[in-house]
Structure 1
Amino acid sequence: PKRAEKLLKAVRRAVKIPLTIKIRSGWDKSGSQAIKLAEIAHSCGIDAIAVHPRTASQGFRGMSNWSIISEVKKKVSIPVIGNGDIVKPEDALRMLSETGCNAVMIGRAAIGNPSIFSDVLALFRGEDVPQKSLCDRFDRMIKYLKDSVEYLGEKQACFMMRSRLGWFVKGMRFSSSFRESIKHVSSEEQALELIRSYQDMLMQTGQTNL
């Protein structure tokens, strides 16, 4: 705790922009380390704190304990951002309701479903979440590929696509075969061919919606 306090104070003195931190629940399931660190961060002038309530040993396994977010929120007056296990739009609203946090942070769920952000906003406005078609998902995959190539260059983008494109097809039929096929993709043209081939195969089976 003393080292963390020293570090946070030094960073706070060094920067004038809003300063936020993200923490986990700690080394054990009690969440006591997260609460202690949140209180230290508050006293050091941190502007907001994001809480991912899994332990260090959990990694990304198991379920996150949202009650720890609630406990942190009770102990500090700065904004608390909840994170962990928001896999569909309804989860975001449920986290806000159950924990009292000020905002939510969405991570891995957005990799293969970037529209989750607009879907969450639709729920906030009291609107229905638009139904997504198979074509919508594949159009987003192709846009993600092309934008990545433009931003990163073809070589680096294709290396990244070997794992990222698999997130877009999670839960789809024959997805394991597609993930296997993209493990060695090395060009934008090859990636596009594999994406379109997989889409055609699904369409031929009669699947049109997710």
Structure 2
Amino acid sequence: MTIVDVDEEPADFNPVSGVEAKCPMCRTQTAAVLDVARSERLAGKYPLTWREREAEKRGDEQGHGGEGTIQTFTCYIGNRHQLADDREDTNVHEWTFFVKPSRTDIVEEVQILLHPTFRPNKVIRQRPPYQIKRYGWGYFTIQAYVILKAGYSWVSDDAEDSPDGAPKGMLPLEWTLDFAGFGGKGSMGRCRLKVKNDRDWEDVSEEGEQDAAELQRLVRQYERDGRYEPPEEE
């Protein structure tokens, strides 16, 4: 995680820039941006080696030999902060905690766990912006769980199964509130994450599997709201 200014404009991960870029021939890590013209010249001069490297790259994108496509994106987690001058109690810190994934189309929900002194101390956001605003007297560590939609899973050793049982469908993140960074306005961490697309629903000829996944999420939502009654056994 890289700590950056809270006003930095969130941007998607560029795999060919900065320290993430590698030479397509020798695999040496480099901070240079990919030179398309030079790449074309190398492909023409060393066609065999180039094809081998392209095959290796496709293998990596397929999840190290497994099924599914690996997709990389950026996720920002952090908080804004300012002093609340008009408050008479000790809760003078006004802060907004947020999780900003560069892709929201694959995120089902973000669960935010606050300090037990807050009521409620668990907040769920099912659509962007994934954020909450609160007042407090001090800082503490917030836990956030980013849950992916059906058909996607996190490529991370820290990933956990989602509440509806999807393998590696939930990624826990932590952020300690920052009241001093960048002149007291807060800060955020930039994380580069990988997600595996386990199933492309558009290629499924029958809708049964997709319907079952959607129904399972709906049941879980109703259970959480206290509105779900399981069917009686015959």
Name the structure where strand makes up a greater proportion of residues: 2
TM over 0.5: no
- The higher-RCO structure (CA 8 Å, 6+ apart) is 2
**Which interval holds the TM-score relative to the shorter structure?**
under 0.3
- Structure of greater Rg: 2
- Tell me the TM-score normalized by structure 1: 0.25
Name the structure where helix makes up a greater proportion of residues: 1
